[in-house]
C-alpha cells in the first residue's frame, strides 16, 4: 500500500517502517487528516525472531496513568491526547504476553509458563497523564516526550532495567534505582523537591540540570549519582559503601555526609554555606564561598576548594 502525503506538520520521527508523530498532523493529498496529536503509523512488521514473524497487536484498555514493565519489554512512552497501547512480538510469543490494567496501572509482563527464548518485545504506549514509571527484570523504558504534571512523579528502575526520559516538570519527583539499573533524565525541574535513592551498583544521571528548592540524595553500595548544572536552594547528600556522587552548578546551602569508601565530588558546585561530614575513609570535595562547618575522621578526606 502506498500513501501520498501532502503535508507533515509537527515533530515527526521515522524509524524503519514506523512514523512517530509528536503533537502535529499528517495530511493526505485529498485533504484528509490521517492523524493528529501523538500517534504511531506502522506497516506490518517484517522482522523475525528465530524464523517467527513479528505480530502487531493493539490493546483497548481502561484509562491508566502508571506503567509497570517487566522482563523482555522495550517500551517507548509518549504523552498525548489519545491513549494507545501497541505491542510487537514474535508470533509464538504474543499469546504469552500479559497486557492489562490493574486499577490505574498498565502492566506489561510475561506469563509464568513462558519458556521461549526471545531477545526483545517492543511496546509503544501513549498516555494522557503519567504519575509513575516502573521498570523491572531488565526491561527498558524510553519516554519520547516531556513529562509535565501538577502532582507527584515516581520513577523506579530495578533488576538491571533502564529508564530514560526527556524533560520532567513536576512539583515532586522521586527517583529510585537498584540492582545494576539506571535512570537517565535529560532535564529536570521540580518546584518543591527531588528525592533520589540508588543502591546496589545502580546509576542516576541528570543531564541538563535540575532546578528545585530541595534536593535529597541517598546512595549506597557501588552506585553512582550525577547531577550536572543544577540550580538548588538546599541539597542533602548521604553517601556510603563505595558510592560515587558528582555535582556541578549552584546551591545556597549544602549538607553532605559520606562514610565508608564513598565520595562526594562537589568542587564544581558553587555553594554559599554548608555542613560536610566525612567518616571512615570517605572523600568529600566542596566549593563553598561562605561558612562551611567541617567534620572529618582521621583517615577521611575533606577539602574545600
pLDDT digits (tens, 9 = 90+) for 173-184: 999 999 999 999
pLDDT of residue 70: 87
Is it true that 49-145 and 161-305 share their CATH fold?
Answer: yes
pLDDT digits (tens, 9 = 90+) for 233-264: 999 999 999 999 999 999 999 999 999 999 99
Its sign, for the CA torsion 224, 225, 228, 229, is negative
Whether 27 has a pLDDT exceeding 50, the answer reads: yes
Domain ranges, ordered by start, for the chain: 1-43, 49-145, 161-305
Annotate the chain with three-state secondary structure. CCCCEEEEEEEEEEECCEEEEEEEEEEECCCCEEEEEEEEEECCCCCEECCEEEEEEEECCCCCCEEEECCCEEEEEEECCCCEEEEEEECCCHHHEEEEEECCEEEEEECCCCCCCCCCEEEEEEECCCCEEEECCCCEEEECCCEECCCEEEEEECCCCEEEEEEEECCEEEEEECCCCEEEEEEEECCCEEEEEECCCCEEEECCCEEEEEEEEEECCCCEEEEEEEEEEEEEEEECCCCEEEEEEEEEEEEEEECCCCEEEEEEEEEEEEEEEECCCCEEEEEECCCEEEEECCCCEEEEC
Whether 50 has a pLDDT exceeding 90, the answer reads: no
Q: Which three cell numbers stand for residue 173?
A: 519527583
CATH number of 161-305: 2.160.20.120
Cβ atoms of 296 and 278 closer than 8 Å? yes
Q: Tell me which of 32-46, 106-120, 182-196, 251-265 is least confident.
A: 32-46
- Report the predicted TM-score, pTM, of the whole model to 2 decimal places: 0.82
Whether 56 has a pLDDT exceeding 90, the answer reads: no
Whether 41 has a pLDDT exceeding 50, the answer reads: no
The verdict on domain 49-145 having CATH code 2.160.20.120 is yes
Amino acid at each position: 500500500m502506498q500513501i501520498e502525503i501532502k503535508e507533515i506538520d509537527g515533530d515527526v520521527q521515522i524509524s524503519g517502517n514506523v512514523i512517530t508523530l509528536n503533537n502535529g498532523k499528517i495530511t493526505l493529498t485529498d485533504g484528509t487528516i490521517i492523524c493528529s496529536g501523538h500517534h504511531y503509523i506502522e506497516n506490518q512488521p517484517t522482522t523475525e525472531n528465530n524464523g517467527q514473524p513479528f505480530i502487531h497487536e493493539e490493546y483497548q484498555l481502561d484509562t491508566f496513568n502508571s506503567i509497570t514493565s517487566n522482563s523482555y519489554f522495550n517500551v517507548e512512552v509518549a504523552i498525548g491526547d489519545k491513549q494507545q497501547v501497541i505491542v510487537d512480538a514474535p508470533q509464538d510469543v504474543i499469546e504469552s504476553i500479559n497486557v492489562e490494567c490493574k486499577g490505574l496501572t498498565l502492566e506489561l509482563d510475561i506469563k509464568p509458563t513462558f519458556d521461549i527464548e526471545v531477545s526483545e518485545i517492543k511496546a509503544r504506549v501513549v498516555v494522557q497523564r503519567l504519575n509513575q514509571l516502573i521498570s523491572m527484570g531488565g526491561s527498558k523504558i524510553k519516554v519520547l516526550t516531556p513529562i509535565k504534571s501538577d502532582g507527584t512523579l515516581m520513577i523506579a528502575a530495578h533488576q538491571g532495567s533502564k529508564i530514560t526520559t526527556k524533560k520532567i516538570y513536576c512539583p515532586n519527583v522521586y527517583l529510585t534505582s537498584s540492582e545494576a539499573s539506571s535512570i537517565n533524565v535529560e532535564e529536570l525541574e521540580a518546584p518543591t523537591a527531588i528525592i533520589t535513592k540508588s543502591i546496589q551498583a545502580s546509576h542516576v544521571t541528570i543531564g541538563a540540570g535540575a532546578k528545585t528548592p530541595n534536593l535529597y540524595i541517598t546512595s549506597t553500595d557501588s552506585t553512582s549519582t550525577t547531577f550536572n548544572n543544577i540550580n538548588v536552594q538546599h541539597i542533602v547528600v548521604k553517601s556510603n559503601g563505595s558510592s560515587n556522587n558528582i555535582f556541578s552548578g549552584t546551591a545556597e546551602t549544602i549538607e553532605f555526609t559520606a562514610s565508608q569508601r564513598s565520595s562526594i565530588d562537589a568542587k564544581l558546585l558553587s555553594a554559599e554555606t554548608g555542613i560536610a561530614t566525612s567518616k571512615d575513609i570517605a572523600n568529600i570535595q566542596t566549593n563553598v564561598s561562605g561558612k562551611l562547618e567541617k567534620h572529618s575522621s582521621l583517615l577521611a578526606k575533606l577539602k574545600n576548594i
